[in-house]
Amino acid sequence: MASLARIFALMAFVCCGTTQAAEFTTDICVYGGTSGGVIAAVQAARMGKSVVLVEPGKHVGGMTSGGLSAVDIGDPRTVGGVTREYFTRLVANYGLKLPWDKPFGRKKGSGPATGGAYSIEPHVAEETFLAMLKDAGVTLQLSQRLAGVEKQGARILALKTESGDVFRARAFIDTTYEGDLLARAGVSYTLTREGNAKYGEKYNGIFYNPKYEPRTGHLQPGENGRTKTGQGAWDRDFPLDPYVKPGDPASGLLPLVQAGDPGAPGEPAPGVQAYCYRLCLTTADDRLPIAPPPDYDPKQYELIVRFIQACIANGDDMDLRWFSKHDPLPHDKWDFNTATFGGNLPGASHAWPEASYDQREVIAKAHENYHRGLLHFLATDARVPEKVRRDMKRFGLPRDEFVDRGGWPHQLYIREARRMVSDFVMTEHHLAGREVAANSVGLGSYGIDTHEIRRIARNGVVTREGKTAEGRRGPPSYPIGFGAIVPRPAECENLLATFAVSASHTAFASIRMEPVFMVLSQSAATAACHSIDAGVSVQNVDRSVLRERLLKDGQVLEVVK
């Protein structure tokens, strides 16, 4: 409980909107209190600028404090600056030190390297973010939903929130997952998975991965939950019948299967990656029960029953890992990931990027209700193997996490939303090293990790469309160019965006990792400060001056070998 007391003490400096409309004037306004938002605000304040961090919700840290307790980094040597400082401070709470100078070891069949905050609790992550903001002197405004943008020509003068407050600044940084500020500012963006022909890519548009084609004969996993080929027990695709009455399309599709034409591979298509909640669950004696949704109906999970039947027919000795890879955290807690049939709800995410805040609350609740219902189903339904039910019953929600939501995370995992379209676009070619982005502002190193876009009926069986999980088949890391975080000059000259970057759908699937988001946010804040000092647009910042300051502040800009 001591940690909670520290959080409450830190929260004393937070303003949650004002009772009367107010006007704030600062050098830099950062919109989006995500992990990247915190890093951007801290960097700008350390460079001597007055900064306000404006967040539409009630918490800071985004996914990094919202349940993503095992953060995918790829190569930790690519992470520098304030981001490295954050993770170093974070794990120091547990007496740990991270080996930043070494790549993560990877034995055959062990799966992709996971690093950074691999041993932390969400409330400790948020506490660390809040402490860094307070130490830097950042003004934090919570519960401030964006309502509009005031522009003069290609410059943003102010953003306005639903509370009536006005935030005036000389430069703005969009650190939302959705690209909400850039959209309001009239900056070009896309929600389309580009066809492969657009940028000469391989994995874009409609995509069916041979690794995830429905099949029988899956190998049995070892103690680490993976087969000798590296396939996780949580990633098993069987040829499941998608129809209410097996074999009869006229009977309609089962719940959890989307209607839609399979389409032609490589063709452009709408749709963003599936969202989910990354749960922090506990086996502690004082755990809270995971209540099912009010409208719980086991019929909604008939497809899960067919999956279980297929697993049993395959000879699987099922346990809870078949439905969620889960990694241990301190104090009897566990980080729960998703699976073939886990927390992901393909299709339900598609409306999110353009939805209003109220509509997003409805979408988020649908994800929560589905996930709660699934966990209740796994713990109680007689058709679930007894071993799975017994395993599921060990877990509950922790009393000291997400206390204002009864233990349920405050952040839905927005894996992808709007992507800016600027004069420069990151593509597969940059990830693979066939092209090198100029004016590096950070490095990416993770593989192309796209969660399914749709779960549809194809050739008479349930199929996940859009899932990649590919290696990059290129250098161990790659530069992300400055052009990817700035809009076209004619559209906006004092805005940078660090999650909704200018990248193809496929390239974004690697860039989207939280540490990269944080690194890019520090670079964006540095550029914003230099643009103010030089009296130029963000696009015209002197690249050599920017690079010199980034390196001085510990950023890693050159490919790590």
DSSP assignment, residue 110? S
Give tens-digit pLDDT for 436-481: 999 999 999 999 999 999 999 999 999 999 999 888 888 899 999 9
CA 466 to chain centre: 17
Quick count: other Cβ atoms within 10 Å of Cβ 387?
Answer: 13
Q: What pLDDT score was predicted for residue 560?
A: 81
The Cα–Cα gap between 82 and 117 comes to 14
- Beta strand extents in 11-143 (DSSP E only): 23-31, 51-54, 139-141
Give tens-digit pLDDT for 355-408: 999 999 999 999 999 999 999 999 999 999 999 999 999 999 999 999 999 999
The Cα–Cα gap between 344 and 364 comes to 12
- Beta strand extents in 85-194 (DSSP E only): 139-141, 146-152, 155-161, 166-174, 189-190, 192-193
Q: What pLDDT score was predicted for residue 473?
A: 82
Residue 285: burial class (beta carbons within 10 Å; 0-12, 13-18, 19+): exposed
Please, what sign has the CA dihedral across residues 398, 403, 407, 411?
negative
Looking up tokens 């519960």 gives: 143
The Cα–Cα gap between 491 and 483 comes to 14
Q: What pLDDT score was predicted for residue 155?
A: 98
| Contact yes or no for 320/327 (Cβ under 8 A) | no
* Residue spans of the chain under pLDDT 50: 1-9, 11-12, 107-117
The Cα–Cα gap between 218 and 235 comes to 10
The closest of 151, 207, 264, 201 to 494, measured between CA atoms, is 151
Give tens-digit pLDDT for 46-58: 999 999 999 999 9
| Contact yes or no for 199/278 (Cβ under 8 A) | no
